[in-house]
Amino acid sequence: GAIISNGDMSIYNTDFIDNTTGNGSGGALYLYSDYNHHIEGSNFINNVSARNGGTSEGGAIQIGVESTKLGSLDIISSTFKGNIANNNGNASSSGIGGALQLAGIDTSISSSIFGGTGTDEGNKANRGGAIAITNNVGSHTIDSSKFINNEATTYGGAIYNEEGSLTVKNSVFDGNKTTNVIPGGNPSGTQSSGGAINNTSGTLTIENTSFSNNHANRDGGAIRSSGGTVNISNTDFINNTAGWSG
């Protein structure tokens, strides 16, 4: 990608466009989890985390877990569009976190946009079209942000939360989807669930948020939760669809 930082980093009013990594670790930025990072007023557009074989992570940003020390990541008023985590050019295969892959860190995201209404503005990955949380250490808060037309092949069109503690409030999820095709209408063995959010063994809290026009080819047009805890209040669900259930 563009930058690897083994230390505290602050980024203001900066554009990251068309950056690529070939080892699957952060298309634009690779940041270490045991430091404090601040990103504000910045744009991440069409960055790619690619790997020919194996798993690629963080189309725009990957957080690498390097120790047990818990750092922080603050993202404010920033935009993520068209970022992809893929395997050999294929976002449907082994990519985690189209824009962000988060692990081993406290995260706060506010007033930011993931995806958009233009052609190919949505972020894409196999799991977590926009964001993938893949470690149960740390807490993650998203406030006053928008997730528009992001895509995951298997789980979490916008967000994939695996064992993490995630709070989403005052936000919008519209047009996100999972795309894995269910052969012959039989869902057995097919992964394509959680059109907006997939929560696996994590704690998910949602407040004052809207989910509209999200779709999963299998289960959970807006949200799919398995083995975790979900708390929802003052939230609207409008015109979400699933191919099988929920």
159 burial level (CB within 10 Å; 0-12, 13-18, 19+): buried
* C-alpha distances out from residue 85 to 160, 179, 216, 222, Å: 13, 15, 20, 22
* Interval 123-134: pLDDT, tens: 999 999 999 998
Angstrom distance (rounded) from CA 41 to CA 12: 6
pLDDT computed for residue 95 by the predictor: 87
* Interval 140-168: pLDDT, tens: 999 999 999 999 999 999 999 998 899 99
Q: Which residues of 47-84 are buried (b: 16+ CB within 10 A; e: fewer)?
A: bbbbbeeebbbbbbbbbbbeeeeebebbbbebbbbbbb
* C-alpha distances out from residue 147 to 27, 33, 47, 136, Å: 20, 24, 17, 23
CA 203, chain centre distance (Å): 16
Angstrom distance (rounded) from CA 89 to CA 97: 15
Q: Which residue would you say has higher pLDDT here, 138 or 83?
A: 83
* Interval 30-85: pLDDT, tens: 999 999 999 999 999 999 998 776 678 899 999 988 767 789 999 999 999 999 99
Prediction pTM value: 0.94
Q: What percent of the chain has pLDDT over 70?
A: 91
* Interval 205-232: pLDDT, tens: 999 999 999 999 888 999 999 988 999 9
Let me know how long the chain is. 246
The token duo for 26 is 């952060």
